[in-house]
Amino acid sequence: MQLRAGLQCVWGSTYDDTIDQMNVIKRLSDILEMGISRISLCDTTGMARPNDVYSVLDIIYKTFPNIKISMHLHNTNGLGLLNLNEALKFDINEIDTSMGGIGGSPFIEGSSGNIATEDTIYMLDNLGYNIGIDIKKISKISRKLEEKIGGSYFSGNLYKMI
């Protein structure tokens, strides 16, 4: 069995907006010692910035060259896809997204959902990844979901246009 763990607030929290890279390395070391096969690095609060994403991933991969990482990015500050683009410079092959960018946190004022599935597919396709997901079908599902629950929880853009 393969186990996946998540490390929350890697790029800051509502209590502290600093990034302690050595603390991230220590926590990852503790998690890896438990036999975890993949770790999800989470921008829980949406505070990540592209240069910080690169910096943290750079030290992680230098410390743990064989680590398997997935990314859990929010778009609260509008930089979610730029942060993903920085992460793609490393061996990232798993990304958490949400339909239409739905989500947010009741504990973080003004937070938005994960990076939108449709926006992510569009970016990846245009970067040459050709992931083979029909963005029109995904967008249609997101629009129907928005009709059912209301649009205030959605932060994505493309699902409305495609």
pTM: 0.91
**H-assigned helices in the chain:** 21-33, 50-63, 80-87, 117-126, 135-149
Same domain, yes or no: 91 and 108: no
Same domain, yes or no: 25 and 73: yes
Same domain, yes or no: 87 and 102: no
Residues in the chain: 162
Same domain, yes or no: 129 and 91: no
pLDDT given for residue 132 in this prediction: 92
The number of folded domains in the chain is: 2
Asked whether the beta carbons of 80 and 118 are under 8 A apart, the reply is no
Same domain, yes or no: 102 and 91: no
State both tokens at 135.
């963005």
pLDDT given for residue 22 in this prediction: 93
Same domain, yes or no: 10 and 90: yes
pLDDT given for residue 158 in this prediction: 64
Same domain, yes or no: 47 and 115: no
State both tokens at 105.
């946190």
Same domain, yes or no: 44 and 2: yes
Same domain, yes or no: 131 and 63: no
What range does the domain containing 127 cover? 98-162
Same domain, yes or no: 34 and 114: no
pLDDT given for residue 83 in this prediction: 98
Per-residue pLDDT tens digits of the chain, which is 162 residues long:
888 999 999 998 888 778 889 999 999 999 999 999 899 999 988 899 999 999 999 999 999 999 999 999 999 889 999 999 999 999 998 999 999 888 877 777 777 889 999 999 999 999 999 889 999 999 989 888 888 887 677 777 767 676
Indicate the residue among 96, 128, 152 that finishes a domain: 96
- HSE at residue 154, side-chain half, CA atoms within 13 A, is 22
